[in-house]
Amino acid sequence: MGAPDTICALASGPPPSAIAVVRVSGPAVRNVCAQLLASGLPEPRRAVLTRIQDLRGAEVDEGLVLFSPAPHSYTGEDTLELYLHGGPAVIAHALDALTAVHGVRLAEPGEFTRRAFEAGKLDLTEAEGVADLIEAETLAQKSQALRQVSGGLSNIYNAWRDDLTGLLALVEVMVDFPDEGDVGSGAAAPVREGVARLMIDVEAALGDGGIGERIRDGFRIAIIGAPNAGKSTLLNRLAGREAAIVTARPGTTRDVIEIRRVLGGQVVWIADTAGLRETEDEIEAEGIRRARMTADDADLCIQLVDASDPVSPPPLPYPPPKGIRVVNKADLSGPEGIAPADFIISAKEGAGLETLEAGLAARIAALAGSVESPVITRARHREKLGRGLAALASARTALDQDLGFELVAEDLRLAIREMRAIIGEIGVEDILGAVFSRFCIGK
């Protein structure tokens, strides 16, 4: 295997900006310094002000540079950072000058972090945390990502892996020396206890209501109700724009329309859905099927009722706290005509909207606060942890039914594999591309 390419990229935001940070990492960094910096190779980890030029000697800019020699850098390789004036022409000239040096090319998205992962600077959950931190929009997303970057999840998964490895060692002794001492139910007891204890912890992590994923990806609120109840009007109000088409004609909304906003300190997706009614129309029927799916999947479901509609609303299956009964078109009806509701609004005129928003925000905030530090922040973790739990359950069955320690050992090995896959110790090739390609370039 030859030396890896040296990569470079703009690491700061799009120009123009006050300062642009260009990052270079790899074995050619020392050449870059020798050929492009008037200062030559800067003293390690010291900001140095220098003229930067291209290979023909034309000035690129004057700015600070920072050299971090391997292995004490983000990527574990020799790394150079250039702090330039943040104009598009400066950045373009700098990247041209860098890539003209032998062995230097532009970086792929996430390639710096991928190198950090491959150098063992970060495990996979920490690298995922880096991506989440860069994309974090709410404080809740930020603190969850930061905890993940600093090993908050790795510590838990590592501890489970280590516990499992300890149990496996006990079981392997019993496989290897079945006739020695008091092997049998007595010797199996600590294994049985260990498996039971781990199952409780893993079940608790899996039973978190998906809060970690919701904080990261957004909570979900569905608006459901009869045609013409004013669902689309309410969505537009909550969006602050005309996201959905509003007409007096029932059955206008056929697909699920979602808007994204911050509510109660959390990212929230609010979905407008097709009105629930019996219909012969194939497209509308599909819309209604999607409406039910969206509602099933939602954390909160606004069940919208038209105060002026004498027809009784369709069955609304979600009890509180998920189901929130909202009566709309209060402007068309005297207070005496209004059925009991959690909120009474006029989506068209805006009455009661602030109270409704505050109520939704409080419910979302309560949901988000219901789990202190979620262990699972992505579907990837949930899937693997679920498989780990299944392997533990199988180990318990093998112990209970005395099916032999070989089987127990095999199940424990499976569970260990799942933990190691979560932190990226094994089986990562297929997912690495997926994880890192979603990073921005320069990270």
Binding site for Mg ion (CB under 5 A): 231-232, 253
Phi, psi (degrees; rounded to nearest 5) at 81 = -115, 135
Residue 348 contacts which entry, Mg ion, ligand GDP, none (Cβ below 5-8 A, type-dependent)? ligand GDP
* Residues of span 397-436 touching ligand GDP by CB under 6 A: none
**One of 348, 386, 393, 407 touching ligand GDP (CB under 6 A):** 348
Strand order in the sheet with 219-225: 257-263, 266-272, 219-225, 300-306, 323-328, 343-344
Residue 313 contacts which entry, Mg ion, ligand GDP, none (Cβ below 5-8 A, type-dependent)? none
Based on CB atoms, which residue is closest to ligand GDP, 192 or 277? 277
Instruction: Give me the amino acid identity at 323.
Output: G
Position 347 contacts ligand GDP (CB under 6 A): yes
Residue 39 contacts which entry, Mg ion, ligand GDP, none (Cβ below 5-8 A, type-dependent)? none
Distance CA 376, CA 257 (A): 28
Residue 25 contacts which entry, Mg ion, ligand GDP, none (Cβ below 5-8 A, type-dependent)? none
Measured from the CB of residue 354, what is the shortest distance to Mg ion in angstroms? 22
Measured from the CB of residue 275, what is the shortest distance to Mg ion in angstroms? 6
Based on CB atoms, which residue is closest to ligand GDP, 267 or 327? 327
Distance CA 387, CA 394 (A): 11
Measured from the CB of residue 305, what is the shortest distance to ligand GDP in angstroms? 10
**One of 75, 113, 228, 294 touching ligand GDP (CB under 6 A):** 228
Position 332 contacts ligand GDP (CB under 6 A): yes
323 φψ region: left (φ > 0), alpha (ψ -120 to 50), beta (else): beta
Position 227 contacts ligand GDP (CB under 6 A): yes
Stretch that binds ligand GDP, among 126-134, 224-232, 394-402, 412-420 (CB under 6 A): 224-232
Position 346 contacts ligand GDP (CB under 6 A): yes
Q: Which residue is nearest to Mg ion (CB)?
A: 253
Based on CB atoms, which residue is closest to Mg ion, 33 or 295? 295
